[in-house]
């Protein structure tokens, strides 16, 4: 499977590399080129490099110089193209100052459109022609522009050599290089006039009396505009520093060079910075001009740049640096065998991703999950629109909040439980499913929740939206423009995220599947941002908020943004840290670039200015400290005064009450005094204690009525009763055997129960239910001995084999002849028997237990055994099929009470007589041993030990913990590994 993920999961299966014989540069700086590991930070001085033409000719590339500096420097020699450029610029600037405002507004709008189209369309067509068929070079050869016999030879030689150094030889330079130099001259003419006409156009539409709808609006507008322009200039300068003239003028359309560069600075800030953030100056100028005309023309020009990028540069970059691989038939030795345990990425994609519904992509009306999602979405849209105004608004906003809570908090809690305990997968494993079924259902749930958050928010915004009557009033037009821009940014961000993550990362596959790549790479949009969905991934919500112009929608958008922050911080980040450890970078490209700029800018400030600023800050800090100290003193004095006044007030009230009470006791009868009240309480105290004692006695008597007891149990000689367990510990499900002893006058319905130690508070009375974990003592009397007792009672020997055995008839006779009317101290016979509890009469829970011998169907305890432990069976390696089958076979036999008529004797024998209670015992022990929880119905469905073993193995594999970074490194370094368990869901 191909899954490029970063923090959900930000990785790709292959890393982009650039051949050392290719030059990894172009003016668009595609992500594959940006990812190349190339370094030339030490190239402070300009150095020559080697170029390679398409026909394989290698040549030394002469050094070129930056165009603007040479064009505007009067000391530099000027050629024909320089004078042409300067002349056209001078004419246009002159027209700007000479023409009236209205005339120059439309003139320069047209001129800017001409030069902009000359750039994006004219240069684009030429570059496309050169890229597809080397058209410009062929034209130069056809018309012999650089041949010595050509009439233009000397003129071309002079023009092209004018700005070059001594390392350039016009006659020996390859035709591709000379054609590129000639093409540069045309680019200079177009770019300089494009800039000039834009500035003239913007100034001609400058609004000298803008009306701001908020305080300091003009100041903020100018500050924002100047910042964007300054930022634009820095982007261009930094980009020129990195890519040099070769990429600035699309040199790789003509030839390639072997030169290494470091794509740092602005190229770590944004994708395609030359065309994206490199045109922010347009919007800065629009802000300062306060003109919607300038803004919309700037947006159109910026859009043309992206059209040029998409249709001209990107195809050439893909063809040059990422050529498609030629498909070849694999040799038999390279074909992957079906028994190979390492599943390929294609196999994983085929297994887990089959035309899944991604928002609305791959919608299939005949697929039940898609149809249900469509119905739910339709109801969410139609119901609020059909409801009355206020009710519809309340319903729309309420359902938007509801779905945001479900999506961010409900699914967030589910993913957190999945990350920690594989909760979601465990649920499907419990009912006989597996990872595939769990992941398929998760994808449907997540996609529905995601769509509903967007749909419900859009419906709520629509209900709060009203179509403006005057689009030019206030910020109405600006709000709608920014809103649509934010929505477009959101769509692009989501598409870029999906392009990197793929279906695997989009659906949080690394929370469910262990078959994810262990290497973390940052590509695409994640090269610049660690979590683009944090801000840019919610841009559409803020865009809709701007257009709706509603505080309610603003609160909803803010709640959505905060919820997304919490989700990324508490759900996604911990899981990614567990999987990838120190591979997760601390700073994204944008953050690193801004920090570098923040460090570099203060260094360029003059020392004297820095000292003055530090002095002002220090004085401000001292003044603030003095003010804070004064306020603290005032607050302390105020609190002290308030406390004193409060104490005086309370004291005054208490003293007044005491004085009034004294006067009252003097004037009124004594029984109404406080002393008489104390006397009444003292006299009532014995009665209250008597009521409390009667209540306790009543509760005790009622409890005695519920638990049958023998009256005068003290009359029995309890030393003649005993119950002894055979083993100090038992495995879960193993039958518990014990030997009991009792005198001949024991009750006919004596019984033995098993209880957890400490569950009964009284040693002589069992006060909790046995829950069916008991047996009659006489029913299973396998060994009964009868001994003559002397006048002094002697305990029977522990060795049952040393005494003569009684048959069952004898034991019954002995039991029948025993009567409670016999005196307890009468001489009688001592009986001994063995009681065995198994199957459903056992406690199927680990713990410390004891056996209690009870008298004649009642709850009086005649004897208690020594404590014994019930422990879990020793777990076998899930990969050891025979070991697991042996453990399960013994477990099933014990659950069926080792009945020879029903128990299975081999792993393939079907279960006979296995009911719900037995199946519950089995799944409880499986969960205890292997950590896999099944529903009891699964045992009945599998119905054999062999199938249940495969089910356990599949469950253990599905629920294995996510390996941390250290574990993955150790496993990858290990040369040997245990064989995988070849089981699938279809085998079950």
| Co-location of 127 and 185 in the same domain | yes
Say if 898 falls within a structural domain.
yes
As a whole number of angstroms, the distance between CA 35 and CA 32 comes to 5
Task: Return the pLDDT at 449.
Answer: 94
The domain boundary residue, chosen from 851, 871, 891? 871
Asked whether residue 762 falls in the same domain as residue 844, the answer is yes
Domain boundary among 666, 690, 706: 706
How many structural domains comprise the chain? 6
* Domain's final residue, options 871, 906, 936: 871
- Statement to judge: residues 157 and 192 lie in one domain: yes
Please tell me whether residues 813 and 955 are part of one structural domain: no
Residue 274 lies in a domain: no
- Pair (614, 595) in one structural domain: no
Examine the domain organization and report whether 778 and 645 are in the same domain. Answer: no
pLDDT at 653: 52
In-domain check, residue 351: yes
Kindly state whether residue 286 falls inside one of the protein's structural domains. no
Task: Quickly count helices (H) and strands (E) in the chain.
Answer: 31, 12
User: Do 770 and 764 touch, CB atoms closer than 8 A?
Assistant: no
Spatial CB neighbours of 581, under 8 Å, sequence gap ≥ 6: 964, 965, 966
Give me the residues paired with residue 257 across strands.
51
- Per the listing, tokens 């709640």 go with 559
Whether 960 maps to a domain, the answer reads yes
pLDDT at 411: 94
Q: How far apart are the first and last CA of the chain?
A: 25
Residues in the chain, pLDDT under 70: 1-48, 211-216, 259-264, 324-354, 515-521, 585-623, 625-714, 779-828, 962-988
Instruction: Based on the fold, state whether residues 886 and 977 are members of the same structural domain.
Output: yes
Residue 797 pLDDT: 35
* 49 beta partners: 61
Q: In terms of domains, do 626 and 560 share one?
A: no
Q: CA nearest 316: which of 121, 124, 57, 116?
A: 124
- Say if 373 falls within a structural domain: yes
In a domain, 136, yes or no: yes
Contact criterion met (CB below 8 Å) for 827 and 801: no
pTM over 0.85: no
510 in the same domain as 368: yes
HEC per residue, 149-210: CCCCHHHHHHHHHCCCCCCCCCCCCCHHHHHHHHHHHHHHHHHHHHHHHHHHHHHHCCCCCC
- Domain residue limits at 501: 345-603
Q: Indicate which CATH number applies to the domain containing 935.
A: 1.10.1200.10
Confidence (pLDDT) at 786:
38
372 plus 493 within the same structural domain: yes
* Separation of alpha carbons 40 and 263, rounded Å: 9
- Rounded to 5°, angle at Cα 650 from 647 and 655: 120
| Domain membership flag for residue 662 | no
Both 698 and 620 in one domain: the answer is: no
Cis status of the peptide bond prior to 9, with omega within 30 of 0: yes
Task: For residues 540 and 591, state if they share a domain.
Answer: yes
Long-range contacts from 303-312, C-beta under 8 angstroms, 24+ separation: 304/116, 304/117, 304/119, 304/120, 305/120, 305/275, 305/279, 306/275, 307/120, 308/119, 308/120, 308/123, 308/124, 308/275, 309/28, 309/272, 309/275, 311/124, 311/128, 312/124, 312/127, 312/128, 312/131
Rounded Cα gap, residues 62 and 346, in angstroms: 47
């Amino acid at each position: 499977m191909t899954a490029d993920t970063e923090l959900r999961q930000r990785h790709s299966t292959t890393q982009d590399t650039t051949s050392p014989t290719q030059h990894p540069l172009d003016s668009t700086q595609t992500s594959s080129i940006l990812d190349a590991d190339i370094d030339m930070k030490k190239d402070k001085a300009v150095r020559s490099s080697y170029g390679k033409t398409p026909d394989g000719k290698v040549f030394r590339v002469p050094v070129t110089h930056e165009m603007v500096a040479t064009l505007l420097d009067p000391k530099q020699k000027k050629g024909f193209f320089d004078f042409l450029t300067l002349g056209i610029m001078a004419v246009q600037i002159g027209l700007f100052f000479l023409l009236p405002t209205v005339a120059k507004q439309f003139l320069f709008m047209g001129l800017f459109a001409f030069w902009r189209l000359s750039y994006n369309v004219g240069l684009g067509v030429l570059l496309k022609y050169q890229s597809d068929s080397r058209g410009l070079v062929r034209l130069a050869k056809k018309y012999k522009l650089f041949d010595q016999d050509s009439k233009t030879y000397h003129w071309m030689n002079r023009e092209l050599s004018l700005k070059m150094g001594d390392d350039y030889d016009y006659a020996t330079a390859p035709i591709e290089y000379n054609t590129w130099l000639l093409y540069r001259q045309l680019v200079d003419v177009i770019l300089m006039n494009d800039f000039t006409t834009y500035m003239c156009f913007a100034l001609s539409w400058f609004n000298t009396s803008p009306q701001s709808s908020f305080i300091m609006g003009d100041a903020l507008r100018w500050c924002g505009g100047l910042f964007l322009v300054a930022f634009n200039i820095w982007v261009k300068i930094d980009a020129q520093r990195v890519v040099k003239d070769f990429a600035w003028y699309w040199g790789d359309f003509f030839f390639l060079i072997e030169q290494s560069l470091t794509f740092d600075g602005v190229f770590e800030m944004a994708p395609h910075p030359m065309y994206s953030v490199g045109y922010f100056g347009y919007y800065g100028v629009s802000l300062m001009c306060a003109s919607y005309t300038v803004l919309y023309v700037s947006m159109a020009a910026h859009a043309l740049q992206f059209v040029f990028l998409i249709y001209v540069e990107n195809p050439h970059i893909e063809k040059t640096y990422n050529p498609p691989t030629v498909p070849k038939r694999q040799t038999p030795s390279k074909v992957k065998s079906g028994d190979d345990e390492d599943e390929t990425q294609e196999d994983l994609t085929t297994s887990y991703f089959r035309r899944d519904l991604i928002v609305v992509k791959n919608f299939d009306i005949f697929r039940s999950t898609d149809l249900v999602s469509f119905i739910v979405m339709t109801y969410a849209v139609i119901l609020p629109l059909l409801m009355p105004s206020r009710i519809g608004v309340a319903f729309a906003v309420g359902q938007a909040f509801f779905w945001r809570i479900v999506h961010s908090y409900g699914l967030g809690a589910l993913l957190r439980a999945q990350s920690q305990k594989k909760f979601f997968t465990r649920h499907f494993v419990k009912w006989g499913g597996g990872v595939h079924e769990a992941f398929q259902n998760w994808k449907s749930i997540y996609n529905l929740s995601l769509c509903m958050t967007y749909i419900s928010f859009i419906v709520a915004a629509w209900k709060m939206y009203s179509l403006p009557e005057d689009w030019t009033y206030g910020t109405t037009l600006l709000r709608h423009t920014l809103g649509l821009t934010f929505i477009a940014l959101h769509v692009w961000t989501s598409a870029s995220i999906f392009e990197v993550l793929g279906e695997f990362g989009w659906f949080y596959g690394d929370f469910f599947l262990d078959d994810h790549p262990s290497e973390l790479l940052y590509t695409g949009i994640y090269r610049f941002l660690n979590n683009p969905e944090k801000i840019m991934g919610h841009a559409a919500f803020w865009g809709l908020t701007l257009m709706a112009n509603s505080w309610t929608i603003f609160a909803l958008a803010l709640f959505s943004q905060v919820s997304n922050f919490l989700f990324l911080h508490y759900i996604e980040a911990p899981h990614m840290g567990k999987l990838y450890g120190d591979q997760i970078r601390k700073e994204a490209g944008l953050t690193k670039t801004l920090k570098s700029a923040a460090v570099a800018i203060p260094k360029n400030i003059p020392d004297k200015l820095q000292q003055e600023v530090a002095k002002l800050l220090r004085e401000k800090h001292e003044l603030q400290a003095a003010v804070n100290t004064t306020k603290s003193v005032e607050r302390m004095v105020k609190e002290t005064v308030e406390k004193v006044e409060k104490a005086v007030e309370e004291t005054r009230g208490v003293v007044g009450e005491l004085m009034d009470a004294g006067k009252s006791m003097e004037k009124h009868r004594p029984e109404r005094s406080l002393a008489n009240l104390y006397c009444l309480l003292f006299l009532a105290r014995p009665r209250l204690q008597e009521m409390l004692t009667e209540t306790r006695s009543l509760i005790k008597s009622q409890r005695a009525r519920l638990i049958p007891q023998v009256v005068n149990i003290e009359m029995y000689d309890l030393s003649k009763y005993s119950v002894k367990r055979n083993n100090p510990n038992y495995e879960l499900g193993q039958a518990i055997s014990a030997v009991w002893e009792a005198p001949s006058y024991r009750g006919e319905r004596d019984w033995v129960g098993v209880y957890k130690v400490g569950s009964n508070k009284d040693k002589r009375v069992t006060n909790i239910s046995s829950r069916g974990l008991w047996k009659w003592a006489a029913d299973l009397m396998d060994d009964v001995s009868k001994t003559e007792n002397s006048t002094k009672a002697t305990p029977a020997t522990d060795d049952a084999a040393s005494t003569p055995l009684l048959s069952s008839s004898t034991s019954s006779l002995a039991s029948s002849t025993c009567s409670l009317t016999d005196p307890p101290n009468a001489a009688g016979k001592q009986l001994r028997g063995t009681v065995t509890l198994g199957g459903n009469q056992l406690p199927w829970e680990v713990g410390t237990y004891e056996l209690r011998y009870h008298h004649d169907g009642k709850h009086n305890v005649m004897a208690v055994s020594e404590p014994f432990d019930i422990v879990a069976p020793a777990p076998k390696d899930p990969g050891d099929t025979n070991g697991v089958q042996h453990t399960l076979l013994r477990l099933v036999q014990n659950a069926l009470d080792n009945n020879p008529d029903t128990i299975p004797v081999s792993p393939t024998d079907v279960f006979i007589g296995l009911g719900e209670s037995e199946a519950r015992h089995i799944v409880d022990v499986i969960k205890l041993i292997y950590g896999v929880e099944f529903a009891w119905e699964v045992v009945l469905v599998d119905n054999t030990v062999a199938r249940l073993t495969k089910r356990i193995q599949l469950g253990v594999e599905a629920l294995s913990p996510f390996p941390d970074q250290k574990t993955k490194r150790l496993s990858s370094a290990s040369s040997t590994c245990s064989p995988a368990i070849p089981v699938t869901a279809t085998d079950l």
